[in-house]
Structure 1
Amino acid sequence: MYYPEEVIEEIRMKNDIVDVVSGYVKLQKKGSSYFGLCPFHNEKSPSFSVSPGKQIYYCFGCGAGGNVISFVMQYENYTFQEAVKFLAKKAGIQLPEAEYSEETRKKENKRARLLQVNKEAATYFFHQLRSENGRAGWQYLKKRELSDETIRKFGLGFANMTSNDLVKFLKSKGYEDEVIRDAGLATFDEKFGFHDKFWNRVMFPIQDINHRVIGFGGRVMGDGKPKYLNSPETPVFDKSRNLYGLNIARTARKNQIILCEGYMDVITMHQAGFSQAVASLGTAFTEGQASLLKRYTDEVILSYDSDGAGVTAALRAISILKEAGMTGRVLNLEPYKDPDEFIKNCGQEAFQKRLDGAENTFFFEIRMLQKDYNMQDPESKTKFYREIARKLCGFSEEVERENYIQAVAQRYQISVENLRRLVLSYAMQTGYAQPVERPKSGIRKKNTAEEGVRRSQRLLLTWLTDMPSLYPKIKKFITPEDFTEELYRRVAEKLFDQLEQKTMDPAGIIGMFEEEEEQRMAAEVFSTKLTQLSNRQEREKAFHDIVLAVKENSYEQYLAGSGSDVNALKGVIEGKKALEELDKTHISIEES
């Protein structure tokens, strides 16, 4: 839903950034700012700063930065709308109601009703597990070595032996048969009539990222079939677009997510401290689940069973992760079958070592591929190398492909040149990829001139933010159009307007940008530490040089793009005069 700018502004103003951030990070005041350990990367020395005056945060270690809304988005992994709702509720601000058609309103009411009945069912199962009826389920979970805290954390429950206890309970709460059925909690057949879908099972509530119960998984006690039973697809439960445990894993701050197969694997890993674990919901890993994971991480570690089915599932998941633009690694749990079994036998530290040494997905694919070839037979070995060459052609980026060629050649005892020729041959025969070209003149030099331009523009904005009194002294020479870097130009337009009004709102300027990277870059402008110079004369020279550098670059760009008509010539002459005047102008900096 779209919220008016004035509503967003009110929410931002009524949520002091220090108050909000201190709810997540332990902050200590130093000077005019607060500092703490960055919640977005691992560090031992505090480099995460929060400025109450500017209402922004910035990490000098990893570069994360923004205003109070972007902090909540980044920490909670919320969308913009979710962050706005969260902060509005925190500040007691009533958001405008969305206007729905009658049909849409009915759908929303139906969804709300299904979520309510699921919550009631989860509560019912939770209490049954702790009753005499749930003794078998409780004993099963204890046999699996789950603590009381873990059982409570995941809301585990039990569905009784009888086949209509839940239906009776939900009806007593006022829920209609249609709602109970549409939530996937009950079914009808001629033998039993309208009865519970789950019975004699340990129950695993499935929650969406906002901790709402959307479905269930049930593990049968004894030898009943099927061993695991999941809720059917419903208006609130789409198996292909949800993951078990993601509501917890998304805030784990581990820079990765472990993807496994079963509910118990997830629960065991969380209990052992690996709270970044999730599992698919009784189905193969899907493109929708990959898209969901991409919101929270760039790296996925696959922790599938080590049997044949697990390997097949891992290979399929690798392909999906690549399509989604994510990197992956594969966890080797041998000689154990799954994470639950491994952790129980070897412990947390051993599992962490396996996690740290998880295998690159490309090498995993090659290792699995090698099993199909007899490496003692020259012909079979050659076919294996050709298959490697085919897979290497899948890397569209030349640098990445060349890196893998060298790594594979070393690992599989083939010369780099021979493997490169195989790749080249396959690429030219199939048109599958462009051949790798060797660099002709060594390493390409960085475009230091371009970076110097960006740095000058960024530093000028930082000076003006730290010392607004400088703005009247340079506005004759510098306008927003002189900032040739688009993001800095947009910042300058807003900042200069605020300085004209004798106000300054860095958090509001950051809020103009929608992309996280743009917000980070804007926050950097307001958080850059200026070099501490020993005296006033040095400071004045440094500032003058930066102003002159920005103006010179602007003039050079104008000169390069100007034509040959009278107006263009006039502009060039005026620009040249302005540069000469600026060069001779002394800009004083009053000592603070």
Structure 2
Amino acid sequence: MPGRINDEDLTTVRDRSRIDEIVGTFVALRNAGSGQLKGLCPFHDEKTPSFGVTPAKGFFYCFGCGKGGDVIDFVREINNMGFSEAVEWLADRAGVQLRYEDGVGGPRVEPGLRMRIFEANKAAEEFYAEHLGSAEAIVGRQFLAGRGFDRDAAERFGCGFAPTSGRALRDHLLARGFTRDELVKAGLVRESGWDFFQGRLLWPIRDAGRTTLGFGARRLLDDDRMPAKYLNTPETPVYKKSHVLYGLDLARTTIGKRNQAVVVEGYTDVMACHLAGVETAVASCGTAFGPDHSKMLHRLMTADATSGEMIFTFDGDAAGQAAALKVFAQDATFAAQTYVAVEPSGLDPCDLRIQQGDAAVRELVARRQPLYRFVMRNIVGKHDLDRVEGRLSAVREAAILVSSVRDASRVSGYLRELAGMVGMDDAEVRVEVTRVINRRPADAPAPLATEPAATSGQQAMLVLPDPHDRRLQVERETLRLIVQEPTAFTDTFNDITAEDFQHPTHARLFEAASGLADRSTGWQQRLADALGDPVADQLVAALSVEVLQREASADYVARYSARLRYGTVSRRIDAIKSWLQRTNPVDDAAAYNRGFAKLLELEARRRELQAEAIGTE
């Protein structure tokens, strides 16, 4: 596998990818003066533009939802891509041949191929959709009608039909100028020359940016030589089943707005949910829902990850319970809180809508319950609760489940629920659960906690500072100057230190800035790269587009730096005064005298900084 993308190529991709041109393909931008462009944010619903792009600096930032960064960050967010995928996507557009370091082999995909595949998929989607109205596609139209979907629904979801002739799509796309090799690599045509999909109803599978990546197809005809009921596009340079979700293009905005995603099992279930008003529904394509899918959805959620909801729909039968247990096995990798919506009748959302209407589908999702509770009931139900041994066995088996709850504040509630399920006293259950956990193997889940535990070796998560917090205005303006005009500072940043910043994210940004020697062109990008944290990256993007209070002259920077350091000294003075008030000058005279001398020294230093802050103007 190729390794890290060559730094020179990465710089070339950024230089050739004008952020206003890339963003402009997704957002209508208008001139807002001062070298800035504004538009409606593509990542959350808004009526007044709060999304800004600064072409000269290569950054975007939304003051509404806080998303920001460079052109690569924008492509990652809008297309739900990883870093390398976003760079490759931009490289294809710019015609840059990427080189890979620390890896075996050359580039994964030749330049321009991804864009040609996207274009071929779009042309195929239009071809399939048009053919759905043909005479031979009546079986497809009947299938849709039988599941409650009319023509408008078919058009809304881009449904199409693959001709039965076997070469119709190939001939059509060859006539449009695509090569045979491009069609094979796109997964539209087989090596033998036959169309990959024949005589099947199709759904286009798109990314969050509404680009068609591939297709899902359902078997309709008895003489279909492919036995699989559902068939998906094979793995291609743009279609990887573990990285795609059907319905993501339609659900993207609502997932961010509601901070919720509903995961169903099939294409028609997604259609039924959206038509019933559950507009956050998506489905995995030809594979089980996994961690990569979860990351995709998490990137769309705009609120705190732990407040987000990932809701899985399962039948109430044995198969549904087994599916829930599989989800629980990987629940620790999900960022959001996990729920299940169980339909006791065994109907999937599509059949539920047909038999009971739209309201029943909405009610199914509204009745969601925490995954832990569902699995706990499944565990308890396997034991004979009429016997003492059965009750104890149920508690012991559920103990590890309870210990794995991420939200420590809910542990006591789950223990009470477990006690109620097995018919035991709360205290007895807690003692038994604690006993089991304390005997757990070294690689078992962590014991019950009263406070959320930090992941081993993981840095504390940064949070985005409130730009309107008046207590942080001086340090924010200082960082604004550092981000936008670093050369106006001295080599030591006018003697500023990380301790001068009260907010940890501000301090982290300054530490990264002070560690960079080159403040020339490309400074903001180097700063963002050095941070390596998405929250800090957003802060850099915000500071790079905010308006400075005054022109960044060397004198103004020096005076503002003095204001920042003045605040630090003032806080130290307050701390020493507080200590002196608590110290007995008779019993601990030596320490008291040292503290008093330090106070006088700091008071003198504060007067100097005050004079520097006032300046000569």
Shift of 1:364: 1.2
Contact 1:477 1:578 in 2 (8 A): no
Q: Which residue matches 1:245?
A: 247
| Cα distance in structure 2, aligned partners of 1:6 and 1:456 | 37
Equivalent position to 1:129, from 132, 147, 152: 132
Equivalent position to 1:301, from 291, 294, 311: 311
Shift of 1:95: 5.5
Q: Which residue matches 1:183?
A: 187
Shift of 1:317: 2.0
Distance 1:291 1:505, change over 3 A: closer
Q: Which residue matches 2:510?
A: 489
More displaced, 144-153 or 355-364? 144-153
Contact 1:39 1:253 in 2 (8 A): no
Contact 1:118 1:213 in 2 (8 A): yes
Letter in 2 for 1:256: Q
Contact 2:243 2:293 in 1 (8 A): yes
**2:166 pairs with 1:141:** no
Contact 2:260 2:280 in 1 (8 A): yes
Contact 2:97 2:110 in 1 (8 A): no
Distance 1:300 1:120, change over 3 A: same
Shift of 1:422: 1.0
Q: Which residue matches 2:478?
A: 464
| Cα distance in structure 1, aligned partners of 2:344 and 2:223 | 28
Contact 2:205 2:216 in 1 (8 A): yes
More displaced, 356-365 or 342-351? 342-351
| Cα distance in structure 2, aligned partners of 1:384 and 1:134 | 54
What per-residue deviation string (whole Å, max 9, x for no partner) do you get for residues 8-36 of structure 1?
77568x5459x958965999989999999
Q: Which residue matches 1:220?
A: 220
**2:294 pairs with 1:269:** no
Letter in 2 for 1:220: L
Distance 1:433 1:315, change over 3 A: closer
Contact 2:242 2:293 in 1 (8 A): yes
**2:495 pairs with 1:478:** yes
What is the DSSP-based 3-state SS (H/G/I as helix, E as strand, rest coil) of the residue aligned with 1:278? strand
**2:353 pairs with 1:329:** no
Q: Which residue matches 1:547?
A: 565
**2:175 pairs with 1:152:** no
What per-residue deviation string (whole Å, max 9, x for no partner) do you get for residues 161-202 of structure 1?
5566556767877865996599375598xxxxx866654432
More displaced, 20-29 or 275-284? 20-29
| Cα distance in structure 2, aligned partners of 1:159 and 1:167 | 11
Distance 1:374 1:102, change over 3 A: closer
| Cα distance in structure 2, aligned partners of 1:181 and 1:39 | 31
Contact 2:480 2:543 in 1 (8 A): no
Shift of 1:426: 0.6
| Cα distance in structure 2, aligned partners of 1:166 and 1:481 | 62
Q: Note the residue ranges of structure 1 that are not aligned, 5 or more in a row.
A: 189-193, 440-446, 531-540, 557-572
Contact 1:67 1:507 in 2 (8 A): yes
What per-residue deviation string (whole Å, max 9, x for no partner) do you get for residues 313-359 of structure 1?
22212322324555311113344611123334555555445434421
**2:263 pairs with 1:259:** yes
What per-residue deviation string (whole Å, max 9, x for no partner) do you get for residues 469-518 of structure 1?
9x899x997334654755242466499997xx9x9997885576442111
Letter in 1 for 2:476: T
Distance 1:508 1:8, change over 3 A: farther
| Cα distance in structure 2, aligned partners of 1:181 and 1:25 | 33
More displaced, 359-368 or 371-380? 371-380
TM-score (norm 1): 0.68
Shift of 1:235: 4.2
| Cα distance in structure 1, aligned partners of 2:85 and 2:423 | 53
| Cα distance in structure 1, aligned partners of 2:150 and 2:524 | 48
What per-residue deviation string (whole Å, max 9, x for no partner) do you get for residues 195-238 of structure 1?
66654432234445662343442231579784723147444554
| Cα distance in structure 2, aligned partners of 1:285 and 1:529 | 44
Q: Note the residue ranges of structure 2 that are not aligned, 5 or more in a row.
A: 452-459, 549-558, 575-596
What is the DSSP-based 3-state SS (H/G/I as helix, E as strand, rest coil) of the residue aligned with 1:343? helix
Letter in 2 for 1:158: F
What per-residue deviation string (whole Å, max 9, x for no partner) do you get for residues 521-568 of structure 1?
4457679999xxxxxxxxxx9997753233578999xxxxxxxxxxxx
Q: Which residue matches 2:230?
A: 229
| Cα distance in structure 2, aligned partners of 1:354 and 1:590 | 67
Distance 1:506 1:577, change over 3 A: farther
Superposed CA RMSD:
5.8
Letter in 1 for 2:611: H
Distance 1:408 1:331, change over 3 A: same
Please list, as runs of the form range in 1=range in 2, the aligned pairs for 1:348-367 lying within 5 A after superposition. Answer: 348=358, 351-367=361-377
Distance 1:332 1:49, change over 3 A: same
Aligned length: 541
| Cα distance in structure 2, aligned partners of 1:358 and 1:41 | 25
Letter in 1 for 2:271: I
Please list, as runs of the form range in 1=range in 2, the aligned pairs for 1:7-46 lying within 5 A after superposition. Answer: 7=12, 10=15, 15=19, 20=23, 24=27
What is the DSSP-based 3-state SS (H/G/I as helix, E as strand, rest coil) of the residue aligned with 2:202? strand
What is the DSSP-based 3-state SS (H/G/I as helix, E as strand, rest coil) of the residue aligned with 1:430? coil
TM-score (norm 2): 0.66
| Cα distance in structure 2, aligned partners of 1:32 and 1:591 | 31
Distance 1:47 1:352, change over 3 A: farther
Shift of 1:397: 7.8
More displaced, 355-364 or 224-233? 224-233
**2:324 pairs with 1:314:** yes
Shift of 1:133: 1.9
What is the DSSP-based 3-state SS (H/G/I as helix, E as strand, rest coil) of the residue aligned with 2:246? coil
